[in-house]
Amino acid sequence: MPEIGDKKHVLRQDARGGNPNILSVDIGGTLIKAAVIDQSGALVSEFVTTPTPHPATPDTIIALIIRIAAPLPDFGLISVGFPGVVHRECISTAPNLGTAHWKNFDLEQTLHDTFGAPVRILNDAIVYGLGVAKGPGRECVLTFGTGMGCALFSDGTIFCGLELGQHYARDDQNYDQYVGHAAYLELGLDAWNARAERALQAVHALTNADRIYLGGGNSRRITFALPQWATIVQPSSGVAGGARLWHADMDRWFAPRQPAMAQARERT
C-alpha cells in the first residue's frame, strides 16, 4: 500500500461527516480522469486528466488517486469506474491494466481505508453510461479507448455490462485489439475509422439498442457519418456517472456486498 502523502487531507475526510459531494474517478488504461461532483453530477471542482502510470499496479494507481485528490475540494463519498470486471467487492479482471496485478484485489476496501469515505465501484463503461442513459427504451454505451467497453441500459437503468472487448471481432483479434488505441496507432485514422464503423454496426445489430452513446478518448477521432441512433458524448460523462452510483435506485447493486457503506450513505 502506498504512503499517504497528504495525511491532513485524509484526516479531514475522516471528519467530514455528512458531506454529500463525491470524488468520482474514471480509471482507464491510458488516462485517469477525476473530479469532485455534487449529487446531480455537476462539477464542484475542475475536471482533472492525467496519464495512467505504467506499470498500472494497485499501488501506483492508488498513489495517483491520492495525489489527484489532495488539492480538490472536500468530499464525503467516492465513486470509481474500473476498466474490467468488478466481482462483488473485488476486482476480477483488468485487461488493459494487467489482470495479474489486480485479480482479487479489494479496491473498494483499500480506498475506504485510505480516504475514510464510503466507496462504490462498477465497470467503467457502466459508470460512463450512468452519466448519459436516461431512457426511455434500450440504450447502449460503447467506449473507444485503450480497449472497447460496452454496457446496456433499459429505461435508464443498468441492464448489464458486456465484456465485449474480450469477444473476438475476427479469428485473430478481440475487439480490444481490433479497435483499441494500439490499433489506431498501427492503422492510422482512416483504417481505424473503418473498423470503428464496423464495430458500431455490429454492436447495434447485437443489442438492437434504440440509442448508442459513443465515449472514450478515441471517440473524438471518429470521422465517419454517424447513424441517427448514435451520438458522441463528452469525456466528463464518466465522472458525472459517478453521482448515479449513490442514488437510492442503485442501492440494490451494492447493499449485499457493503451494508456498512450503504448505511453511511443513507446518513448523509
Per-residue pLDDT of the chain (268 residues), as tens digits, is 333 334 333 333 333 457 899 999 999 999 999 999 999 999 999 999 999 999 999 999 999 999 999 999 999 999 999 999 998 669 999 999 999 999 999 999 999 999 999 999 999 999 999 999 988 999 999 999 999 999 999 998 888 888 899 999 988 999 999 999 999 999 999 999 999 999 999 999 999 999 999 999 999 999 999 999 999 998 888 788 999 999 888 888 886 544 444 444 444 4
Question: Alpha-carbon dihedral of residues 69, 71, 75, 79, nearest 10 degrees?
Answer: -20
**How far does the chain reach from its first CA to its final CA, in angstroms?**
29
Residue 240's alpha-carbon distances to 2, 24, 166, in angstroms, are 27, 7, 26
Please give the model's pTM, rounded to 2 decimal places: 0.86
Q: What is the pLDDT at residue 237? A: 84
| Distance, CA of 51 to CA of 29 (rounded, Å) | 9
In this prediction, residue 18 carries a pLDDT of 78
Q: Tell me what pLDDT residue 17 has.
A: 57
Q: 109 with 156: CB under 8 angstroms? A: no
